[in-house]
Amino acid sequence: MTKLKINQAVKKDFDYDVLIIGTGPGGEGAAMNLAKHHKKVAIIERYHQVGGGCTHWGTIPSKALRQSVRRLIEFNLNPLFNQNNQVKQLTFQDILSHASDVINKQVNLRAGFYKRNGVEQILGEASFIDANTLHVLHSDGSVEELSAKQIVIATGSRPYQPDIIDFNHPRIYDSDSILSLKHAPRHVIIYGAGVIGCEYASIFRGLGVKVDLINTRERLLSFLDTEISDSLSYHLWNNGVVIRHGEEIDRVEANDDNVIVYLKSGKKMRADCLLFANGRTGNTADLNLSAAGLPADSRGQLKVNRHYQTEIDNIFAVGDVIGYPSLASAAFDQGRISALAMVDSSSEAKLIVDIPTGIYTIPEISSVGKTEQELTQAKVPYEVGRAQFKHLARAQISNNLVGSLKILFHRETKEILGIHCFGENAAEIIHIGQAIMQQKNGGNTIEYFVETTFNYPTMAEAFRVAALNGLNRLF
């Protein structure tokens, strides 16, 4: 990546070695590793608690909500607990309390990390004065200027809000403000069928709320293996979610007691509220990036090299603010890698190629490696091994019969090329396969799962069943 140089007076003394803007996973990963290397580090957070969007509005609360809803569904479907067929009802507000408890625990945990590692926490809103100096506005109105040899931007992202929609209306929400939902809707329209939209469709439908899911594309989560995407579509449909593909909003009419969504196709839909979950924007608008000579693209995102260094040599960026893969897990590693690069410019640390994807719908989805479509397009001679959860003793015991595991492997070398899982605990199960995929010197083969003895009964046994199924296809 071409780098820009800025003409500025060299400061002999900086307040810190590194200043980090944002306390989400990316900022935390950078701060912890820099502190371990004995750097003087401060991390700046504009919210009144650490954790970033991941802890307060995104990953943690939505997954805590999902867990509560999953347990509710399990209770209502299990005759052992629900012997009188009396369906237990909970509202969105009822399950928010569990999410709040988890958030508080995470905040205390993460704040403790900074304290124990000697990372100074500064509450305030940061913006650039120049490439080495930040202006910090505190909540009490006071202002200070802080300087550092290097700066890390880890400000995350926020939901995209188009101008044609009034997000101040009490019936219209985005994926952040939905956590402040005060009423109990009977019918929700979700615009945007990406990961966030699909997860909330599962959550609301699990609570017995009618859901219309509007997808701007022709199929759900098109980056997934087609069979997995189709499985999600079927289960959402089977549970009563109405999915409308290939649609776009024309306008929204928000009233005191309902919302009417007019689509460009001529259709119109009415519900108690609208959740707009179509895209995100990097949190860079308030950073005064121009003062540092740093440009952001139309989505507020920053370009970086493999060390997460921006076009300005001493400024790094990690996490959602740089775009793909926009995963909390990857952001933490990006922070760690950028810290190593700041300590040692010759560092060879890099993000792994096969990053696992976890999607917390009901049922859950996780994948790592190539899809069947990618392998077919690349003309790779692969074979498929499958295991259905309904045939596993552990799944029968726990009554989690929906789902399957699919292993894609090379017909000749038997190298594992991709693993795709649909069903409860998919995001946990996938890591067994991921660990084998990372093995070197011929250790990454599907035969590992046949030659290894698994605990019985376990969901992990699906790997052995799928491996046998796949090897039986070879001739």
Q: What does the pLDDT profile of the chain (475 residues) look like in tens digits?
A: 544 343 344 456 899 999 999 999 999 999 999 999 999 999 999 999 999 999 999 999 999 999 999 988 888 887 777 667 667 788 888 888 888 899 999 999 999 999 999 999 999 999 999 999 999 999 999 999 999 999 999 999 999 999 999 999 999 999 999 999 988 899 999 999 999 999 999 999 999 999 999 999 999 999 999 999 999 999 999 999 999 999 999 999 999 999 999 999 999 999 999 999 999 999 999 999 999 999 999 999 999 999 999 999 999 999 999 999 999 999 999 999 999 999 998 999 999 989 999 999 999 999 999 999 999 999 999 999 999 999 999 999 988 999 999 999 999 999 999 999 999 999 999 999 999 999 988 889 999 999 999 999 999 999 999 999 999 999 9
- Using CB atoms within 10 Å of the CB of residue 250, give its burial: 0 to 12 exposed, 13 to 18 middle, 19+ buried: middle
Q: How far is Cα 461 from Cα 175, in angstroms, rounded to an integer?
A: 36
Tell whether 384 is covered by a domain. yes
Tell whether 353 is covered by a domain. no
Co-location of 134 and 31 in the same domain? yes
- Within 8 A by CB and 6+ apart from 367, the residues are 224, 225, 228, 356, 357, 418, 419, 420, 421, 430
Residue whose C-alpha is closest to residue 51's, from 66, 31, 67: 31
Q: How far is Cα 218 from Cα 221, in angstroms, rounded to an integer?
A: 9
Tell whether 190 is covered by a domain. yes
Q: Any known ligand binding at 293?
A: no
The residue type at 122 = I
pTM of the model: 0.93
Residue at a domain's end among 343, 378, 393: 343
How does DSSP classify residue 354? S
pLDDT attached to residue 133: 97
The residue type at 339 = A
pLDDT tens digits for range 196-209: 999 999 999 999 99
Residue at a domain's end among 291, 315, 343: 343
pLDDT tens digits for range 376-422: 999 999 999 999 999 999 999 988 999 999 999 999 999 999 999 99
Cβ neighbours around 313 below 10 Å, total: 14
Co-location of 271 and 310 in the same domain? no
pLDDT attached to residue 85: 66
pLDDT attached to residue 132: 97
Q: Any known ligand binding at 124?
A: no
CATH of the domain at 32: 3.50.50.60
Tell whether 30 is covered by a domain. yes
Co-location of 444 and 405 in the same domain? yes
Co-location of 132 and 222 in the same domain? no
| Residue located via tokens 């692969």 | 382
What range does the domain containing 459 cover?
Answer: 363-471
Give the number of domains in the chain: 3
Q: Any known ligand binding at 197?
A: yes
Q: How far is Cα 180 from Cα 172, in angstroms, rounded to an integer?
A: 11
Co-location of 336 and 375 in the same domain? no
Q: Any known ligand binding at 157?
A: yes
In this structure, what token pair is assigned to residue 385?
A: 């091994």
pLDDT attached to residue 80: 74
Q: Any known ligand binding at 46?
A: yes
pLDDT attached to residue 40: 97
Q: Any known ligand binding at 53?
A: yes
In this structure, what token pair is assigned to residue 208?
A: 């017995």
Q: Any known ligand binding at 51?
A: yes
Assess contact for 354 and 437: CB atoms under 8 A: yes
Residue at a domain's end among 257, 278, 299: 278
Residue whose C-alpha is closest to residue 136's, from 219, 27, 20: 20
Q: Any known ligand binding at 240?
A: no
pLDDT attached to residue 89: 80
Co-location of 368 and 432 in the same domain? yes
pLDDT attached to residue 8: 43
The residue type at 75 = F
Co-location of 397 and 306 in the same domain? no
pLDDT attached to residue 335: 97
Tell whether 425 is covered by a domain. yes
CATH of the domain at 430: 3.30.390.30
Residue whose C-alpha is closest to residue 409's, from 421, 419, 394, 424: 419
In this structure, what token pair is assigned to residue 54?
A: 């991941």
How does DSSP classify residue 11? P
Tell whether 257 is covered by a domain. yes
Co-location of 336 and 220 in the same domain? no
pLDDT attached to residue 2: 43
Q: Any known ligand binding at 50?
A: yes
Co-location of 140 and 262 in the same domain? no
Q: Any known ligand binding at 47?
A: yes
Tell whether 10 is covered by a domain. no
Q: Buried (b) or exposed (e) across 393-427, using 16+ Cβ within 10 A?
A: ebbeebebebbbbbbbbbeeebbbbbbbbbbbbbb
Assess contact for 19 and 134: CB atoms under 8 A: yes
Co-location of 123 and 213 in the same domain? no
Q: Any known ligand binding at 195?
A: yes
Tell whether 357 is covered by a domain. no
Q: Any known ligand binding at 49?
A: yes
- Using CB atoms within 10 Å of the CB of residue 354, give its burial: 0 to 12 exposed, 13 to 18 middle, 19+ buried: middle
Co-location of 147 and 294 in the same domain? yes
Co-location of 230 and 333 in the same domain? no
In this structure, what token pair is assigned to residue 120?
A: 């100074």
Q: Any known ligand binding at 208?
A: no
pLDDT attached to residue 5: 41
